[in-house]
Amino acid sequence: MKILHVESGKHLYGGARQVLYITEGLAAQGVDNLLACPLGSEMARQQPAGTRVLPMKMGGDADIGLAFRLARLIRAEKPDLVHLHSRRGADIWGGLAARLAGVPCVLSRRVDNPESRLAVALKYRLYDHVITISEGIRQVLLDEGLPPGKVSCVRSAVDPAPFLPEVDPEAFRAEFRLPQDALVAGVVAQMIPRKGHRYLFAALPELVERYPELHVLVFGQGPLQAELRADVTARGLDGNVHFAGFRHDLAHWIGGLDMLVHPAEMEGLGVSLLQAAAAGVPVITSRAGGLPEAVLDGVTGILCPPGDVAALAEAVERLAGDPDLRRRYGEAGRARILAEFSIDGMVEGNRRIYEHVLENHR
């Protein structure tokens, strides 16, 4: 089996890391993998094991030329199947390229943002099958008219190994210049509107009054960074909110958090939540999209209505005041990751869909 994977992301965020897991897992099973990705991207530099990387120009949704470049690549390499892993032009132009070249194509859908029934009816004709990373996203597509036989859920996975070692609390607080008695909440997300940073910042002033030792580490980067920093300053939170940027060594430190807070308005599944759980960190997040599949309410963390600042504050306060509860949720979360979110299971799920599509295509 020869598969051409297309990933248009420039950074190794959650979705791109799943592509690494899939390609390396398939290569270990003897699958011949090609990976088309942007010039200069972190994916191109990673060179996943057993995969031939083909960097190329990818200009996003407006780059109609990508369809013809990918079609030429498909005709030259003759893969059995094309797997499109992302948006930013890769979905539409990649699907069109596969049609032009006469090769079956599957799409991974990682977001739960709604599309019109007309858009679904037109766009998804390009794909032989759609793979969603959560049942929540699958249900969105079914509600928008996609036939049940054309969409399957294969949940994202996490490699737990980097997150299992214990983190020295003193070293953690020294690394991020926090007081040794700090109670530390973390946010790990791109700085874009739907991740909901603003809801946590709105909840913090009252929380800090009750828990002056509460500090928040904000990991990530994105177009809202300046706006979010200004919001923190305007609320008088500069002493309690710390912007840590994008960290390549996050796996080494995430286990030092006392809790992870992810107040997103919508989310496909939330890989950072799975990583935090693997590190034994309890999670507070929204009851939106696939997030209830990543966090079991009252078992591995707490779910809040999206955008509900009061409920979010109550959840943070509940964990802040109960170290035993934090420990129980953290232990349960780690056990669940080890049992239900394995890379092998995710790779095998994708491969079964490839085989199903290829059998139907023949």
pLDDT band at 116 (very low <50, low <70, confident <90, very high): confident
Q: Please name the residue ranges forming H helices in 87-168.
A: 90-101, 117-123, 135-143
DSSP 313: H
Residue 105 has pLDDT above 90, yes or no: yes
Q: Per the structure block, which two tokens stand in for 332?
A: 């349960």
Query: What pLDDT, on the 0 to 100 scale, is given for residue 54?
Result: 96
Distance from C-alpha of 71 to C-alpha of 84, rounded to nearest angstrom: 13
pLDDT confidence tier of residue 345, bands split at 50, 70 and 90: very high
| Angle between helices 65-77 and 90-101 in degrees, nearest 10 | 50
CA–CA gap between residue 171 and residue 174 (Å, rounded): 5
- Assign residue 50 a region: left if phi > 0, alpha if psi is -120 to 50, beta otherwise? left
**Over residues 13-40, mean pLDDT:** 93
Would the pLDDT of 141 be above 90? yes
Compute the average pLDDT of residues 261-276: 93
* Mean local confidence (pLDDT), 36-54: 90
The fraction of the chain above a pLDDT of 70, given in percent, is 100
Task: Quickly list H helices, 29-145.
Answer: 42-46, 65-77, 90-101, 117-123, 135-143
Q: State yes or no: pLDDT of 149 exceeds 90.
A: yes
**Pick from 40, 65, 85: which is nearest to 350 by CA?**
85
What residues have CB less than 8 Å from 361, skipping those under 6 apart?
104, 128
150 vs 17: which has the higher pLDDT:
150
The residue with greater pLDDT, 119 or 210, is 210
Give the confidence band of 303 by pLDDT, cuts at 50, 70, 90: very high
> What pLDDT sits at residue 314?
98
Query: Is residue 322 left, alpha or beta, with left meaning phi > 0 and alpha meaning psi from -120 to 50?
Result: beta
Cα–Cα dist 135/336, whole Å: 17
Against a cut of 0.85, is the pTM above it?
A: no
Confidence at 112, pLDDT banded by 50, 70, 90: confident
pLDDT over threshold 90, residue 167: yes
